[in-house]
A = this chain, B = another copy of it.
Amino acid sequence: MERQKHFLPQDFPALKNDSFLRAAQGQKTHYVPVWCMRQAGRYLPEFQETRAGQDFFLTCRTPEICCELTLQPLRRFPLDAAIIFSDILVIPQWTLMTYMIEGSGSSTMSKAKRWLYQHVDASHRLLRLLTDVIVDYMVGQVKAGAQALQVFESHAGCLGPAQFAEFSLPYLREISRKVKEQLKNESLEPVPMIVFAKDGHYALEDLSRSDYDVVGLDWTISPLTAREQTGNRVALQGNMDPCALYAPKERIGEIVKKMIEEFGTQGYIANLGHGLYPDIDPEHVGAFVEAVHKHSRNLKEQTWTGHLENSL
Contact = CB atoms under 8 A, between A and B. Distances in A.
Contact of A241 (B160, B199, B279): B160
20 contacts: A107-B107, A108-B274, A110-B242, A110-B243, A110-B246, A110-B277, A113-B243, A113-B246, A114-B246, A116-B243, A117-B243, A117-B246, A117-B247, A118-B248, A157-B220, A159-B220, A161-B220, A162-B241, A162-B255, A201-B201
Contacts of A117: 243-244, 246-247, 251
Most buried by B among A107, A116, A219, A220: A220
A222 interface: yes
B241 A163 contact: yes
Interface in A255-296: 255, 273-274, 277, 279
Contacts of A199: 157, 199, 220
Interface string A143-164: 0000000000000010111110
Contacts of A157: 157, 199, 220
Given A108-B277, A201-B202, A160 B113 contact: no
Interface SS, A side: helix
A221 B202 contact: yes
A225 interface: yes
Given A157-B199, A160-B220, 20 more contacts: A108-B242, A113-B243, A113-B246, A114-B246, A117-B243, A117-B244, A117-B246, A117-B251, A118-B248, A157-B157, A157-B220, A160-B219, A160-B241, A160-B273, A162-B255, A163-B241, A199-B199, A199-B220, A201-B220, A202-B221
A153 B112 CA distance: 26
Contacts of A108: 242-243, 274, 277
Contact of A161 (B222, B248, B255): B222
A221 B203 CA distance: 11
Contacts of A219: 160
A177 to B, nearest CB: 25
A108 to B, nearest CB: 7
A12 to B, nearest CB: 37
